[in-house]
Amino acid sequence: DAGITQSPRHKVTETGTPVTLRCHQTENHRYMYWYRQDPGHGLRLIHYSYGVKDTDKGEVSDGYSVSRSKTEDFLLTLESATSSQTSVYFCAISSNGAVEKLFFGSGTQLSVL
């Protein structure tokens, strides 16, 4: 998957606990994205980054925060997980922000009980 590694691949956690998902890329791409995938909703953008320490919100950003301290790593944090955040989370990258060059990781299945 284009040099993108997501960790963990699966996680089960309890409501109210903090959770951090990691996306690591080896492509040196400037842009990184976090999406969530839910039945009936397709893929929805949570947050994205256009450079180190440069991030912006997507369409479903409430309850999520992100950080990017290095080009290769983009972290997604759920400060206090809720059951509505049970989902499959995908990281994606692109070299210049052009949506035509979007590459996805293999996803993280998160279950919040």
Partner 1 sequence: GENVEQHPSTLSVQEGDSAVIKCTYSDSASNYFPWYKQELGKGPQLIIDIRSNVGEKKDQRIAVTLNKTAKHFSLHITETQPEDSAVYFCAASKISQKLVFGQGTRLTINP
User: Can you give the length of the chain in residues?
Assistant: 113
User: How far apart are alpha carbons 113 and 14 in whole angstroms?
Assistant: 5
Binding status of residue 105 toward partner 1 by CB under 8 A: yes
Torsion angle in degrees (nearest 10) through CA of 58, 71, 91, 31: 50
Task: Single out the segment in contact with partner 1 by CB under 8 A; choices: 18-26, 61-69, 71-79, 92-100.
Answer: 92-100
Beta bridge partners, 88, equal 37, 109
What is the smallest separation between the CB atom of 78 and partner 1, expressed in angstroms? 20
Applying the rule CB under 8 A, the residues between 8 and 67 that interact with partner 1 are 40-45, 48, 58-59
Which residues contribute to the site for partner 1 (CB under 8 A)? Answer: 1, 4, 40-45, 48, 58-59, 90, 92, 97, 99-100, 102, 104-107
